[in-house]
Copies of this chain bind each other. A is one copy, B any other.
């Protein structure tokens, strides 16, 4: 059953749910999902509403226009409309570690993730065999040690992403900083996995930092990439208990299981259009 999904936020106002659900039901839309949340601190209203398009009076390609005209300025609404029959196109960026890549591709292959994957991008040849196992094109641009060709590489990558009409990017343990140009082109559409419980252990070698500090629990954090390093809106986190017996190496090994699970959960929520961002934080619908 084909559905439309409306994700929106606006200043909270009396009767807004009644008004918006009325818009759907008055036009003969059968609501199959509704979740809303009021941020009582910032006085903001957030909603995800999904309804069946079959029998809906407004044609699919006019929904966005009608909704904008009828409600946007009136309620100061920021929104997006998605349709269940349009699969988002996802690019995966990797470096040398395979665990997150395998996890994403295994889910994709098993039908767990409703996306197209037109390309895998890397700065190393190492994981070409994985891409080949799954029959997905693999592109490599080496980055010079002095980063002298960084701008050039990113230009080539952006051209590829344009050509392949990529909607969002997953950094599956891609060990390079993304520059502001690419971030600006894909706002809140680049998902990273950081191998620590942010904001603890920002930056390089978080497992070494965790070992040195002697923490009893380590974590992983998936977040949208923003201009400030490891400081974007957090989508998902999880942790695992460790002990004094763990070395930096055993931490890294335990962490891998966290990283892949946390990244996949975040990607899934993003693909299902269940993530809203506001004030550098996320609202995650269930």
- A binding-site residues for B, Cβ under 8 Å: 14-15, 17-18, 21-22, 25, 30-34, 36-41, 97-99, 102-103, 106-107, 109-110, 112, 133-134, 197-201, 213-217, 219, 233-239, 241, 243-245, 247-248, 253, 256-257, 261, 264, 280-284, 286
Contacts and interface: CB of A to CB of B under 8 A. Distances in A.
Contacts of A286: 243, 245
A31 B133 CA distance: 42
B253 A214 contact: no
Given A41-B247, A217-B219, A243-B286, A253 B112 contact: yes
A51 to B, nearest CB: 10
State the copy count for this chain. Answer: 4
A277 to B, nearest CB: 9
B244 A37 contact: yes
B18 A14 contact: no
Query: Would you call the interface of chain A mostly helix, strand, loop, or mixed?
Result: mixed
Contacts of A99: 106-107, 110
B280 A214 contact: yes
Given A34-B36, A99-B107, A214-B233, 20 more contacts: A14-B25, A17-B21, A17-B34, A41-B247, A41-B248, A97-B110, A98-B110, A102-B106, A102-B109, A112-B253, A198-B213, A198-B215, A213-B234, A213-B281, A214-B281, A215-B237, A217-B219, A217-B237, A244-B284, A257-B261
